[in-house]
Amino acid sequence: MLSPNHRLHMSLVSSVKHKLSFHNLTTITPPAADDAAGLSNLILSLDTKTLIQNLETKSVCWTPDLVNKILKRLWNHGPKAIQFFNLLERHPTYTHSTASFDHAIDIAARLRNYKTVWALVARMRKRMLGPNPKTFAIITERYVSAGKPDKAVRVFLSMHEYGCQQDLNSFNTFLDVLCKSRRVEMAYNLFRVLKRRFRGDTVSYNIIANGFCLIKRTPRALEVLREMVESGLEPTLKTYNVILNGYFKSGQVKEAWQFLLEMKRRKCEMDVVTYTTVVHGFGVAGEVQKARQVFDEMLESGVLPSVATYNAFIQVLCKKDNVENAILVFEEMVRKGYTPNSTMYNVVIRGLCHVGKMDSAMEYLDKMKDDGCDPNVQTYNVIIRYYCDEGETEKGLEVFERMGSGECLPNLDTYNVLISGMFGRKRSDDLMVAGKLLIEMVDRGFVPRKFTFNRILNGLLLTGNQDFAKEILRAQSRCGRLPRHFRL
């Protein structure tokens, strides 16, 4: 007789198998005409022919706002999102907005489907909808994140060829993209070459300085700011906050404190960003008491903390103090009328998971929804990861099922965590689930690592699942990651 736990696991295996093959279904209860979640699930479940018929139904009044919500929900199923966008473009009464095109371009670029990206740009131009500076910011950011910064530079410099003139704002945006991707040397060299053409301002210098701070090169950041002063520009409070944050990021807590005292001596009025930086900086350094003192000083000085300040303080308490104190601050914040955001809930949930209070973490997940704050993929990934780390893969799968019900689509990290969890017990059923998860990953536009493919293939072969191993091999070939020699 099967144990209750094994019966539960088999039920979940069956459920996951059903979920992973639900795109073959062609009948589903129609959602409300303005229900973005329901419509997203419908789009995911239908084949192309049936989807075309459903998109043209008169029961749904397509609007740019509704389409954008659906594209956001389909974010982690890129191929389906692009298919939906393309099919809806043929609709007799609906016309895509510039924002919708930008969403579609971002999704295609994330998939590294650059042919589709530029086809979408061409269609934008044809419909007189752009492209605009935001469009190019999206494209350049995706090229940089894909390890193609030189291509990103060429795209930026060619903006005018697409009817979008470069200006100082677009230049600063591009510098910011490079710096946040740790290509600060490239950004700095580009800035030096083009700063006369774009008349670099304080924002430009702050971006470059912040870029050097992100890679823990505070002395270089200070050199950039000296250049700024020499060019006749005055430092702003943002400038001082950048350097202060740079010291903390580099672990130079003493220097950060001295810099803060110098700001006070110069009568530099500190804002909520300054205090938040200091609270977080001291907390990360393990000086919780000093972080608390600065937080109290902030209140006494009449500067109201922002939700970001509370986020920073609560994160410090979760990591360096204890989660109970973090929850007390969380509840105090709510009593004062602040509305927690998903970042704050995620911090608390992670803290609870870290100390093994998984039931409380699930309660906060439900509370999050009750407060009208939608859990995001990071929320679910934290809980799934801790369940899997504790060997409770069934509970991890249950949380995964909630995501699949339309609350939030899984991303690459979700699949990787669950697949790794399936190898904990080396059961044949677990490896089948891992294989199904991998196939869904590929179908949704994610590219698993070769290690993941090979691990699942070897596991299936060792457990006698040769036929399913061949299906995995076919999925691997679709990703262009087929081994040169592989025998089944």
Band (10; pLDDT cuts 50, 70, 90): very low
Band (312; pLDDT cuts 50, 70, 90): very high
Band (321; pLDDT cuts 50, 70, 90): confident
pLDDT at position 454, please?
Answer: 85
The distance from CA 245 to its chain's CA centroid, rounded to whole angstroms, is 23
Name the percent of the chain lying above pLDDT 70.
90
Q: How many CB atoms lie within 10 A of CB 18?
A: 11
Sign of CA dihedral 53, 59, 61, 62: negative
- How far is the C-alpha of 208 from the C-alpha of 20, rounded, in Å? 46
pLDDT at position 31, please?
Answer: 60
The distance from CA 161 to its chain's CA centroid, rounded to whole angstroms, is 31
Name the percent of the chain lying above pLDDT 90.
61
- Of the two residues 233 and 48, the one the predictor is more confident about is 233
pLDDT at position 460, please?
Answer: 84
Band (444; pLDDT cuts 50, 70, 90): confident
- Region 296-313 average pLDDT: 92
Helix 428-443 to helix 466-478 angle (10° resolution) is 20
pLDDT at position 32, please?
Answer: 60
Band (34; pLDDT cuts 50, 70, 90): low
pLDDT at position 5, please?
Answer: 40
Output b/e per residue, 23-62; b: 16+ Cβ within 10 A.
Answer: beeeeeeebeeebbbbbbbbbbbbeeeebeebbbeeebeb
Band (23; pLDDT cuts 50, 70, 90): very low
Q: What is the pTM of this model?
A: 0.81
- How far is the C-alpha of 396 from the C-alpha of 329, rounded, in Å? 29
Tokens of residue 415, six digits: 């699949």
Q: Which amino acid is at 423?
A: F
Q: Say if CB 162 and CB 121 are below 8 A apart.
A: yes
- Per-residue pLDDT at 315 exceeds 70: yes
- How far is the C-alpha of 434 from the C-alpha of 462, rounded, in Å? 14
- Region 437-454 average pLDDT: 86
Q: Which residues contact 185 (CB under 8 A, 6 or more apart)?
A: none
- Per-residue pLDDT at 366 exceeds 80: yes
DSSP strands (E only) in 184-332: none
CB < 8 Å & 24+ apart, contacts of 462-468:
463/428, 463/431, 464/428, 465/428, 465/431, 465/432, 465/435, 468/432, 468/435
pLDDT at position 7, please?
Answer: 40
Output b/e per residue, 272-291; b: 16+ Cβ within 10 A.
Answer: ebbbbbbbbbbbbbebbebb
